[in-house]
């Protein structure tokens, strides 16, 4: 590595802090807009929706994907028919739905 260890980790920490700051600013701006524009019950429904979506993502979908990848390695292996089929599906999905 041509950069020093301290410089490398300083840059990593600063870049993540910048990303989290941008996320925080956007979250505060959208919440402020929601509170000002939609007052009361609509804002509560929005926050509940965000909470439910976050719970579904981090408590159901992510662990399920990890379990599938760990316990069914044939899905991600090019050596089996199932793996090659899944890789072709993944390729076409990425080709069709990329921005």
Mean pLDDT of the chain: 87
Task: Tell me the pTM.
Answer: 0.49
* Residue from 9, 31, 66 nearest 1 by CA: 9
Range from 2-11, 19-28, 32-41 carrying the lowest mean pLDDT: 32-41
pLDDT band at residue 99 using 50, 70 and 90 as cut-offs:
low
Instruction: Say which residues have a Cβ less than 8 Å from residue 19's Cβ, sequence separation at least 6.
Output: none
Phi-psi label, residue 91: left if phi above 0, alpha if psi -120 to 50, beta otherwise: alpha
Q: What is the pLDDT of residues 40-67, one digit of tens each?
A: 788 788 889 989 999 999 999 899 988 8
Q: Angle, to 10 degrees, between the axis of helix 5-38 and the axis of helix 41-55?
A: 140
């Amino acid at each position: 590595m041509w950069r020093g260890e301290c410089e490398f980790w300083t840059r990593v920490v600063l870049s993540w802090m910048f990303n989290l700051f941008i996320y925080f600013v956007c979250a505060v701006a959208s919440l402020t807009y929601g509170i000002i524009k939609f007052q009361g019950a609509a804002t509560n429904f929005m926050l509940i929706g965000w909470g439910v979506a976050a719970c579904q993502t981090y408590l159901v979908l992510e662990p399920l994907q990890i379990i599938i990848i760990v316990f069914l390695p044939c899905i991600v292996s090019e050596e089996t028919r199932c793996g090659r089929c899944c890789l072709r599906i993944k390729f076409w999905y990425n080709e069709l739905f990329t921005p």
